[in-house]
Structure 1
């Protein structure tokens, strides 16, 4: 083999760590780690427990109830096992419908997590909101761990026994603040977790579509248009007041499942609770879907909220179609401004199919189906290892990675670890800068398409044999 410095493409035999390490890295990239959701009423110590599990202050903790406005996921590990901790949000404790909101949170956790830690304030004891959530969790079929928080002494442990009444099995007395009992709780959780997340994989049946966007953008109107005049709702999958309701809709001779759509339209009494509720619903719909239609009001300037919803879809790794609604209200001047806004503000989703529609008049809604099919095809697509390595060999020869620390990193080997979304693992002889990774993503898209799907690039730096570790 030729010398390092000339940037020559080399093969797998050059690595220090060999094929077994490749297999491990590919498996790690392709196997979504199991998800543990932490749920409970406001101010019971959910975020404090999340920080304790992570061993660092990540989640926002204040003495004001309901600080966590959204649902956030963090990578964690315990006893050498990787998993994801989902910190579910809180809201004002006097919000109307608190009982329903807590139950809603439990319902979302059921759908999007492999196991649930249900946190109850041991000092207060079980409330009606706790009981409502416990009922949902009992029928989830998921492992549920009841954490009796704020137990600082033996007397508190005795009090925790009263929480058996929730019907979730043995209460685990803990103090998230001081760490008491948390290790034992985590040991129990890990025993029940699957090796690979069972909620991340797609199941068969109709493709699952999330219809999401900021309030009043026309989600209900579009759903009614799709299910009403020209197409028929086959049936509504039964749900209770807090369970999501999916709609099966026939479009272009094919069944599609619109996930969580009724929930997106449901109203809740108080604004602060409602904001949280809408956010949880949006997250839940995206997590439950394979492809998201993000609806944007074309007649108004793009907003931060539009950007946030698009960010949720990309972060969740779902296929994406952007639909500009209310096109009947767009004149020539607005069209010019919108084009500029798209160039400036939606650069991160240039790869997504765009459809200009009017839910009100029915304009171009039939174009949604080909856009959905294109995005899903990209999301499912796989490139052979041979073709991928030839591609990277040519790219690196034409545009080598930037020199770093006097050495030029090389891409030694590349493979696609998984689809949904397409995820690539690059084994390199040095660090690849973020700008160069973005360049590689652009070239991957130019060559292989991937229209409508996010793609992910994981880099594994490998020392070549005989090199001293830096």
Structure 2
């Protein structure tokens, strides 16, 4: 379907026009269009884990295997911390690549958790790529990793990375000493040898994964978003029931989006833990810049976002900006006030005043008060997600909408503009996800009146938990055309 240009209700210049009553044929496009709302059902596919000590180029190799820049890359050890999954295709065959943090058996603090995540990735993968820096040779850490992998029943390929030219291939022979078979020389940065590596990897992979989940239908996609250190990774770990994401008191621990299948109320959901949005993308730099881009991409890929807010401290401008990002993306919204175990009666009263003052425009959002630390009220999360998604998917018939708009306009007509009162001739819900109300009008509708219509639309038909977009198509002046 070729889509006519629509003018957003918030735009000053409305270029989506219709000329006269004959143009009500647009109704056929907007009122009766059958929208394809089916979700993709992910097929089970084998999993490849990319492991190795810090700063050997694992994330660069992951991007090379994917054929796109997806994993965060920076010339600093320890950028990747969680195990992060990406879908890839080579020679028509799909597989999942799991990027991991640097594995160091002597690591302490947060990096000990990073190592644990890498070990878990190795234990659940169908094949393993051990990445070694060919320019450095075999280190003590490489030997420790190889010792563990020699006991594994998974196929293991040694990837000799940073072999940028033929002269450097002489250094690859040393890697035979790891006892894991023939090393494969690759330059992840330039792509040299990556095709041969992928071919061999596909030969080693089983047709189906060893561990296979078979949920009924595709899991709904949920993005966990919020400012740094608000408890997103702690919530994901609590929901999963294991240490799925690295958690540390240091803000900004999560860099890449981390996804997990979570079963809540006998339904499987795909949760994605994201990096904390600390600044605007334009003012962020380095790792934070790419982490912000990944987070925004995760929101776009999700169907519903859970915005975590620290309920124990006052609302911040960053909290409001994150909520605005979700609304701008048109995703269903659940606001989870975390750390509720730290909220006393006085703080609760202050929070209600902050919500009335700062979140008055998103009263429609689903709200839950939870504690990721104690597990308090996490059982309320799944019902809130379902209600938000039901509204996000909801479609009201054109007949009902026009009966409703007639009653509303009769009781409260649009304000006069330029000496003339606009008339709303027709209305329809053009699409779902998010619900979009299209108004065919004889003139511009003031922003305040559009907000009034949105409120009345929600009162009449629900739509709790989802943004509603109001789009205006203004009739072209026929005298001006002639």
Give the TM-score normalised by the residue count of structure 1. Answer: 0.56
Are 1:26 and 1:425, in contact at CA under 8 Å, matched by a contact in 2? no
Are 1:318 and 1:453, in contact at CA under 8 Å, matched by a contact in 2? yes
Are 2:230 and 2:309, in contact at CA under 8 Å, matched by a contact in 1? yes
1:19 aligns with 2:24: yes
1:414 aligns with 2:450: no
Q: CA deviation at 1:414?
A: 0.7
Are 1:421 and 1:453, in contact at CA under 8 Å, matched by a contact in 2? yes
Superposed, which structure 2 residues align to 1:110-189 within 5 Å?
Answer: none
Task: Select which of 292, 299, 304 maps to 1:286.
Answer: 299
Task: Select which of 233, 240, 250 maps to 1:220.
Answer: 233
Quick one: structure 1 residues 330 and 244, their matched pair in 2 at CA, closer, same or farther if it must change by over 3 Å? closer
Task: Select which of 348, 359, 370 maps to 1:335.
Answer: 348
SS of the aligned residue for 1:351 comes to coil
Match of 1:388 in 2: 401
1:441 aligns with 2:454: yes
List runs of 5+ in structure 1 lacking aligned partners: 1-12, 33-95, 112-135, 142-164, 168-202, 234-241, 266-270
Task: Select which of 320, 328, 344 maps to 2:333.
Answer: 320
How many corresponding residue pairs?
297
Match of 1:302 in 2: 315
Q: CA deviation at 1:366?
A: 0.4
Q: CA deviation at 1:137?
A: 9.5
What CA deviation, in whole Å up to 9, does each residue of 1:363-419 have, x standing for no partner?
A: 111000110000000000000000000000000000000111111101111111111
Match of 1:429 in 2: 442
Greater alpha carbon shift after TM alignment, 416-425 vs 23-32: 23-32
1:246 aligns with 2:259: yes
What CA deviation, in whole Å up to 9, does each residue of 1:344-376 have, x standing for no partner?
A: 111221100110111111111100011000000
2-structure distance, mates of 1:361, 1:305: 25
SS of the aligned residue for 2:419 comes to coil
SS of the aligned residue for 1:368 comes to helix
Give the TM-score normalised by the residue count of structure 2. Answer: 0.54
List runs of 5+ in structure 2 lacking aligned partners: 1-17, 38-54, 71-86, 93-189, 193-215, 245-254, 277-283
1:376 aligns with 2:381: no
Q: CA deviation at 1:281?
A: 2.6
Q: CA deviation at 1:28?
A: 11
Task: Select which of 413, 418, 430 maps to 1:400.
Answer: 413
Are 2:221 and 2:303, in contact at CA under 8 Å, matched by a contact in 1? yes
Quick one: structure 1 residues 435 and 14, their matched pair in 2 at CA, closer, same or farther if it must change by over 3 Å? same
Q: CA deviation at 1:18?
A: 2.1
Superposed, which structure 2 residues align to 1:20-99 within 5 Å?
Answer: 20-23=25-28
2-structure distance, mates of 1:212, 1:109: 24
CA RMSD of aligned residues (A): 4.0
Which structure has the greater CA radius of gyration?
2
2-structure distance, mates of 1:328, 1:248: 26
1-structure distance, mates of 2:91, 2:358: 40
What CA deviation, in whole Å up to 9, does each residue of 1:221-266 have, x standing for no partner?
A: 111111117xx99xxxxxxxx986521111111111113x3x648x
